[in-house]
Structures are given as C-alpha cells and as structure tokens.
Amino acid sequence: MKRTLFRATVICMILGSWMISSSTFAQSDPTGKKRITSSFAITNATVFTEPGKAGVKSTILIQDGVIAGVGNNLSIPKEAKLIAGDSLFVYAGFIDGASNTGITKPKDPERSENFVSSDPPDEIAGITPSRSAVDQFAMDSKVEELRKGGFTVLQIVPEGGMIAGKAAIMVLGNETSSNLIMENTALAVSFKGSRGMYPGTAAGVMAKFRDVYKNTELTKINSDKYASVPGVKRPDIDDTFMGMKDVIAGSTPVMFSASSELEIRRALKLQKELGFNLILTDLENYEGVIPEMKAAGVKVLIKAEVPDDKAIKAQKEDVTEDVKAQYIREKESFDKAIAQAGKLEAAGIQFSFTTVGVKAGDIGKSLKTMIDGGLSETGALAALTTNPAAMMGMSRELGTIEKGKMANLVLTTDTLFKEDTQIKHVIADGYLFDYETKAKKKADEAGKATTGTKVAGNWDYTTESPAGSSGGVITIKKDGNEYSGTITYDDPAGSGKATAPIKDIKLDGSSLSFAFDVNAQGMSIVVEISGTIDGNSMDGTMSIGQFGSFPFEATLIPSITAKL
C-alpha cells in the first residue's frame, strides 16, 4: 500500500515535472531571446559602492533586477550566472540628468486656415506642457550607445518649443519592457522662440511664460470656486492648464534650459517672480553666477561637454604682440571654462550632467578634461550617480551599490577616469550588456616618443567642403624618427588627381598634423591637416588658407600597411 502510494507519487512528480517543463516550453520565446536567468553574481570584483569610498573586493548578487547582496560571504544560488570580476572594477550605473537621446521631435501640428501669427494657438507656438517625453522616446541605437558609455538611467526631456512638455525617468534595461521609472518629473522650458510667430524671441518668451503661469494660477482659483460654489461660471480648462497645474502647485519642477550666464540669470529672475521650483539645465557658461545659483538653492545640470580646443590649438608662434595678447585672453577663457565644474563643486552645489546636444562617445573625454581642470574624481562620480539620484528624489532606488537598489552597474577594466579604462559590461535593470574591450596598448619599449600610434602607411581620406566632398590617398613613410610622404588631391586646374609632397609632419601622442602646398591659378595655398588617430582611423580638420576649415576623415588601408 505504502509502496503503491510511493509509486503514484513518483509518477505524479514525473508527470508533473514533465507537464511543467512542457508548459514552460510552450510559453517560451520563439525568438530565443529570453534569458536563461535573472540572477547574476559578479564575483570577487573591486566594488566602489559610492563616490568617495575606496574599492573593496567583494561579490555582488543580483536577482530580478535588484541588488540582492554585496559582500564576501554571500550564498550564490545555483541558477546565477557568474561573472568573474577578479580583474573588474564595479561602479553604480551612471544617471543622465537630462537627455534627448532616443527622443524624436513630434511633427508640428497643421496650421488652420485662419491662423494668425501674432496670436497663435498654444500648441503651434511651442506651449505644450501636457506632452510627455515618454511619447517621443524609443530605445534606438543612440540610446544603446549611451548605455555603452555606462549610462543606465536617463531623465528624458521632450523636444519642442518654449514649454516642450514633461520629462520622465527611464531605465535602459531590456528593450521589451517599458523601462519607465517615473513620469512627469519636470517641465522642460527654454528661451526658444517660435519662428515667425509670437513669441519669437527670448523677450517674448519671458513675457509669455509669465502670462501662462499667472493664468494657470487664476484658472486654479476659478476651478476651485467652481467645484465648491454652485452657480459659478465654468472655468476654461485647456491642455495648457492641465499641463501647468502641477507646476504652480510646486509638485513638478521647471527644468529651464539656460546655457549662458545671462540665460541663467533670466531663469532665476522668473523663478524669483513666480516662485516655481527650478532646475537649471544645459549649463555651459556659468562661472560668474555660481553664488547666485547657490543662494537660490536651485538644482543644476551642466553639459557633459567642454569647449573644443580647436581655436587654442590653432594659436601660432609667429604673431604680433596684439595677437599674442588676444591668445592669452582666449587661453584664459578656455582654462576658465574647463575649470568651472570644479568651482561648482568647491562652492558646494550638487550638480549632475545633461547630455542634451552631446556626442555620447565624447563624454568620457570631456569628464577627464573637467577633472584635469579641478573637478575631483569623487565629485565627477557623484555627478554621474548619487547627485542625479538625489535630484530626482530616487536615492532609495538609484545611485549607489547597495542591497535593495536597482541593479544598475558599470563594470570597467580599470578605475574610472583613467586614460585606458574601458567598459566591459553594463547592467541596467538587472539586464546584462557585454561590450568588446580592446587589449591595452603596450607602451613602446626603448623610450620612443610615440605611443604606438600607427601613422606610416596609405590613408584613404575624404573632406567635406562647400564645393562638395573630395578625397584622395595620403602616403606616409617613416625614416628613423622622421616622417615623409605625399598626398593626392582633386586637381584644381581640371579633372584628375594631383600629387604633392607633404611637409611639417608632426605626431604628438595620437594627434597628427601636416601640410602641403596647392597651386591654383597661379596662387599658392597652404593646406593644413590636423586630426586624431584612433586605431586605423583619423578624424580632424583640413584648413585651406583663408577659405576656412572643413571636416576631414581618413582610414588606414590595411592591405598595404607599411611597417612602423
């Protein structure tokens, strides 16, 4: 009897398990993309739990998108996928405080036949506070590129006019989930006027913003009265009111795009007059208003970008005293610009970064420049993690590596902000993304000046100028420590290619510059090319006498690569 029961139980178990597995099979993803496990363990990695704390060798356990444990004595479940972290460094996933990555601008609405440009409908005039960035967002390749750079959470900002709409917070997890963390996190406002209609300028925008704000306040009073007193005239509730009412109530902050000191002052002026909660974003030039921002207690998002150094690099030796004096001021201004982030930190203003209008691939380099300019590494990491988390009111979920927080991590090959550090994995919302890392370039032995940048060889190049795109081949040879070579280019005298020797070849680290002479209609023009070599490609500019500078790109032709 006992035996029968036992047998029956076994059969049931077998049957049951078969049934379970078959039902799992039936529901599985035919694309094969469904992951095997949602548990991960990063073992024995150097973990930086929060900015300012030293890295500690530990294991991180992730389950169902949440950090389930950080430490050395964790029991790792069998189903966990193991990531050997012995040579890896782990940081909390970066947070982009304001981003238009993945955002597509909606189409402008049609103008009606009786459209009057002096009094356009709000929607056409760029006043669309009810719009949400969520409706404009898609996980496109640009979002993926940002994630490759370590960003796991974005505050997405809608595209539009002076009042574009509401921001939202997204996690860059699996493409099949909605990834929305929170909606209506801020109202995106700028000084952008509408083209060809009211308001057309910053002055008009400021006046119109006051108008919209004050009328929202009045409509709120009127609606409250309508709700409580019978017989009151029905208030006019429109999209603008619906989008603005949380802003006047103080529950949704205004995120003002203000890149210059004057724009920052204008935003602060409006805030002082109207009393909304203010976040300043897109800051580029702000050194002179740090005390004012501090006094106003506003939240600050600076652009994750530094001014380009083309003008500084173009400074020449052989110039007059007047020009030299201008060079000095130019350089001072440049140095000041890159030192700003450090000054913001020194003033004790919590800030984070915005990537609006910033190339994802340049962010790392820009942050390094800011650090060289005086920003501490701790401050830079805080601006990427804890500060934006705090600004979004999400310190409980984001910003550090702690048990219970969202599993957003960056795994690097070395400590952050080092020249050669590369990102090997990013974990966002508990999903793992792997990236290729290149082997570290060995420093040249025998104390050579070059760091292994391959210059010699044949390069295919193209340039874009108002006259169209053109190109040719550059051949560079190395002779001891000297370089020489030739370049082919479209012959200005007619069709076909002309060849000229190149001169003044300079290699400094990975930047290469050289020049050549072109004779056109009896006029000799010096063409200068400068750029940065990264592997087999070179990116830079070609400047042609007084005609201007144009983008220049070149690739090393692999088959006939000459030996260095």
Partner 1 sequence: MKKINYFLAALLGLSFSFASAQTPKGSVLIKNATVLTVTKGTLQNTDVLVQDGIIKKVGTNLSAPSGVETVDATGKYLMPGIIDAHSHVGLDVVNEATSPITSEVQMKDVVNPTEIGIYRALAGGVTISHAMHGSANVIGGQNATLKHRWGTKNPNDIIMMDAPRTIKFALGENPTRVHGRGNGIQPRSRMGVEAVIRNGFNEAIQYQKAWADYDSASAQKGNKATSPRYNERLQTLADILDGKIIIHCHSYRADEIYMLINVARDFNITKLVFQHTNEGFKVAPEIAKYTMGASVFADWWAYKFEVYYSTAFNAAILNANGAITSINSDSAELIRHLYHEAAKTQRYGGMTDDESLAMITINPARQLGISELVGSIEEGKQGDLVIFDSHPLSVYTVPQMTFVDGIKYFDIKEDKNDQRLTVSPTEMVENVYLRQQTERCMQDTEHLFDMAGNLFNQN
Task: Name the H helices within 257-320.
Answer: 261-274, 290-296, 310-313
How much of the chain is in helix, strand and coil states, percent to nearest 5? 30, 30, 40
Q: How far apart are CA 511 and CA 446, in angstroms?
A: 21
| Count of residues interacting with partner 1 (CB under 8 A) | 53
Q: How far apart are CA 345 and CA 172, in angstroms?
A: 28
In the structure encoding, which two tokens stand for residue 140, read together? Answer: 């496109």
- Nearer to partner 1 by C-beta: 223 or 422? 223
Closest contact distance (angstroms) between CB of 248 and partner 1 is 13
Does the protein bind partner 1 through residue 204 (CB under 8 A)? yes
> Which residue of 33, 233, 438, 563 would you call a contact of partner 1, by CB under 8 A?
233
Is 190 in contact with 267 (CB distance < 8 Å)? no
- Nearer to partner 1 by C-beta: 112 or 561? 112
> Which residue of 76, 226, 378, 454 would you call a contact of partner 1, by CB under 8 A?
226
- Nearer to partner 1 by C-beta: 84 or 227? 227
In the structure encoding, which two tokens stand for residue 286, read together? Answer: 């702000």
Closest contact distance (angstroms) between CB of 58 and partner 1 is 43
Q: How far apart are CA 445 and CA 451, in angstroms?
A: 9
Residues 6+ apart with CB under 8 A from 187: 129, 163, 165, 166, 167, 243, 244, 247, 252, 253, 254, 255
> Which residue of 311, 493, 520, 564 would you call a contact of partner 1, by CB under 8 A?
311
> Which residue of 8, 14, 207, 295 would you call a contact of partner 1, by CB under 8 A?
207
Does the protein bind partner 1 through residue 232 (CB under 8 A)? yes
113-132 binders of partner 1 (CB under 8 A): 116-119
- Nearer to partner 1 by C-beta: 337 or 371? 337
Closest contact distance (angstroms) between CB of 204 and partner 1 is 4
> Which residue of 176, 201, 251, 415 would you call a contact of partner 1, by CB under 8 A?
201
Q: How far apart are CA 518 and CA 394, in angstroms?
A: 60
Which segments within 223-343 are labelled E, that is strand? 254-257, 278-283, 299-303
Of 185, 169, 174, 176, residue with least CA distance to 398: 169
34-93 binders of partner 1 (CB under 8 A): none
Is 168 in contact with 134 (CB distance < 8 Å)? yes
Closest contact distance (angstroms) between CB of 383 and partner 1 is 21
- Span interacting with partner 1, options 51-59, 83-91, 323-331, 364-372, rule CB under 8 A: 323-331
Closest contact distance (angstroms) between CB of 527 and partner 1 is 18
Count CB atoms within 10 A of the CB of residue 56: 13
Pairing relation of β-strands 278-283 and 254-257? parallel
Q: How far apart are CA 177 and CA 35, in angstroms?
A: 13
- Nearer to partner 1 by C-beta: 236 or 508? 236
- Nearer to partner 1 by C-beta: 168 or 375? 375
Residues 6+ apart with CB under 8 A from 487: 472, 473, 474, 475, 499, 500, 502, 516
Does the protein bind partner 1 through residue 374 (CB under 8 A)? no
Annotate each residue in 264-303 with x if it binds partner 1 (CB under 8 A) or - if it does not, as one string: -xx--x------------------x---------------
Q: How far apart are CA 180 and CA 239, in angstroms?
A: 23
Closest contact distance (angstroms) between CB of 124 and partner 1 is 12
Does the protein bind partner 1 through residue 199 (CB under 8 A)? yes
- Nearer to partner 1 by C-beta: 152 or 219? 219
Does the protein bind partner 1 through residue 534 (CB under 8 A)? no
Q: How far apart are CA 78 and CA 60, in angstroms?
A: 15
Does the protein bind partner 1 through residue 526 (CB under 8 A)? no
237-266 binders of partner 1 (CB under 8 A): 261-262, 265-266
Closest contact distance (angstroms) between CB of 292 and partner 1 is 8
Does the protein bind partner 1 through residue 326 (CB under 8 A)? yes
Q: How far apart are CA 310 and CA 530, in angstroms?
A: 10
- For residue 473, the cross-strand partners are 460
- Span interacting with partner 1, options 78-86, 112-120, 364-372, 425-433, rule CB under 8 A: 112-120
Annotate each residue in 142-181 with x if it binds partner 1 (CB under 8 A) or - if it does not, as one string: ----------------------------------------
Which segments within 436-496 are labelled E, that is strand? 457-465, 468-479, 482-490
Phi, psi for 537 (deg, rounded to 5): -125, 155
> Which residue of 80, 163, 337, 538 would you call a contact of partner 1, by CB under 8 A?
337
Residues that bind partner 1 (CB under 8 A): 116-119, 195-204, 206-207, 210-211, 214-215, 218, 221-222, 225-226, 229, 231-233, 235, 261-262, 265-266, 269, 288, 307-308, 310-312, 314-315, 322, 325-326, 329-330, 332-334, 336-337
